[in-house]
Chains A and B, each alone.
Chain A
Amino acid sequence: MRRHTRRVYNLCYRFTGNAASSEDLSQEVFLRIYRTLPSYRPEQGAFPTWLTSVTRNLLVDHYRRTRRDRLTDSIEDAMPQLEEKHSPARTPDRLAQASELSAQLQRGLARLSPELREAVILRDLQGLDYAEVQKVLQVPEGTVKSRINRGRIELARVLEEMGLRPA
Chain B
Amino acid sequence: MDWNCTLTEERLSDYLEGSLLPGEAAAFSAHASGCVQCTQLVAQVKMLVSRMQQAPPVEEPRHLAGRILDATLGPREREHSGSGMFAWLPSIWQPRFAMGLVTVAASILIIFHASATAGGKTALNPVNMFRAANRQVHLAYAHGAKFVNGLRVVYEIQSRLTSQPETMSEPISEPARAPNAEPRPGQPAQPPASEQRQKSQSIPHSGRRHTHGASELAALSIISREDLTNGAIRSIL
Contacts and interface: CB of A to CB of B under 8 A. Distances in A.
A9 B71 contact: no
B68 interface: yes
B224 interface: no
Q: Main SS of chain A's interface residues?
A: helix
A152 B44 CA distance: 9
Interface stretch (B53-61, B144-152, B192-200, B210-218): B53-61
Contacts of A10: 57-58, 60
B51 A166 contact: yes
Interface string B1-19: 0000000011111100000
Contacts of A107: none
Contacts of B9: 149, 153
Contacts of A156: 41, 44-45, 48
A9 B41 contact: no
B143 interface: no
Interface residues of A, number: 40
Interface residues of B, number: 29
Interface in B33-74: 41, 44-45, 47-49, 51-53, 55-61, 64-65, 67-69, 71-72
Contacts of A117: none
Interface in B109-161: none
A152 B49 contact: yes
Contact of B68 (A5, A148, A166): A5
Contacts of A34: 72
A102 B55 contact: yes
Interface in A144-167: 145, 148-149, 152-153, 155-157, 159-160, 165-167
A97 B59 CA distance: 8
A127 B49 CA distance: 11
B13 A152 contact: yes
A94 B48 CA distance: 23
Interface string A9-50: 110011000010001001100110010000000000000000
A152 B51 CA distance: 12
Given A5-B60, A148-B13, A105 B55 contact: yes
Contacts of A165: 44, 47
27 contacts: A1-B69, A9-B61, A9-B64, A13-B58, A19-B61, A26-B60, A26-B64, A27-B64, A27-B67, A31-B68, A34-B72, A94-B59, A102-B58, A124-B53, A125-B52, A125-B53, A125-B55, A149-B9, A149-B10, A149-B12, A149-B13, A149-B14, A153-B9, A155-B48, A156-B41, A159-B44, A167-B47
Contacts of B45: 152-153, 156
